[in-house]
Amino acid sequence: MANVTMRVWRGDAGGGDFESYTLEQNEGEVVLDVIHRIQATDAPDLACRWNCKAGKCGSCSAEINGKPSLMCMTRVDELPEGPITVAPMRTFPIIRDLVTDVSFNYAMAAKVPALLPPPMPEGGYTMFQEDVARGQEFRKCIECFLCQDVCHVIRDHEDNKAHYAGPRFFIRYAELEMHPLDTNDRRDLVREEMGLGYCNITKCCTEVCPEHIKITDNAIIPLKERVVDAQYDPVAWLGRKIRRRTKRSADEAAVQPAP
């Protein structure tokens, strides 16, 4: 087999640069395999996260030849010839080498108001298959945070992190908003404090999702349409007035935080 040259980012918060490693290319290897061989031979101090090596734990996110990808799901022989560039996720602060501090995502996760079902009826809650199936797509998320990494709203504008939940959490909000047993109304919350309006539908989150979740079409746009129902549609507003339906405010929705 031919050799493969890997340009791997080495460094920490103090700075860094790419270092090149040339190894023999083995048949069927993924990028994570080669990174492990570099650790085993040339650079035992090379830091990277990994766990399942099967595209299900979401740990080994990185930018391979500039594209946010899972290292364990990117075959070396499917990449163009020439050196392979492996860099850490750009959106999050670096800890060391390929490891980044993704705590921004945990902070945003903690802000999601949890499911708030009505009081338990006699005989328990009933869910129907068509309603379960709708949210099932969003439950496939492995929290690799590649969608957060590629989203230019926070990738290129650090200040937006203060008021933008990002695509991973918009699918969580969408799932809860579509849940037939949920009584929370998060529409004001996602508009006012989670920055749904910052998303300009460039669909990069959908393009990089390793679970092929249609993040934009099935979560963000339906969420935007629900916000239009609540905020920008005078006909819907009139309908609510006539039927005496009121919305819960962002503050009311927020008093039910995730456990």
Query: In the complex with other proteins, which residue's Cβ is closer, 36 or 134?
Result: 134
Contact 253, 113 (CB under 8 A): yes
Tell me if 56 contacts other proteins by CB under 8 A.
no
Give least dist CB 162 to other proteins, A: 6
Tell me if 90 contacts other proteins by CB under 8 A.
yes
Tokens read off for 76: 């070396």
Q: Please, which of residues 145-204 interact with other proteins by CB under 8 A?
A: 150, 152-153, 155-162, 177-180, 182, 189, 193, 195, 197-204
Give least dist CB 59 to other proteins, A: 16
Query: In the complex with other proteins, which residue's Cβ is closer, 27 or 130?
Result: 130
The dihedral through the CA atoms of 214, 217, 223, 226 has a sign that is: negative
Q: Which of 38, 60, 76, 87 binds other proteins (CB under 8 A)?
A: 87
**40 Cβ contact list (under 8 Å, min separation 6):** none
How many residues sit in the footprint of other proteins (CB under 8 A)? 89
Tell me if 130 contacts other proteins by CB under 8 A.
yes
Residue 3 three-state SS = strand
Tokens read off for 187: 């529409």
* Mutual angle of helices 167-177 and 103-110, in 10-degree steps: 20
Burial (CB count within 10 angstroms: exposed 0-12, middle 13-18, buried 19+), residue 117? middle
Give least dist CB 173 to other proteins, A: 14
Tell me if 113 contacts other proteins by CB under 8 A.
yes
Q: Which of 124, 131, 168 is nearest to 148 (CA)?
A: 168
Give least dist CB 2 to other proteins, A: 18
**Hunting for tokens 């039910």 — which residue is that?**
256
Tell me if 246 contacts other proteins by CB under 8 A.
no
Q: Which of 16, 157, 22, 23 is nearest to 98 (CA)?
A: 16
Q: Which of 34, 70, 71, 108 binds other proteins (CB under 8 A)?
A: 108
Tell me if 238 contacts other proteins by CB under 8 A.
no
Tell me if 77 contacts other proteins by CB under 8 A.
no
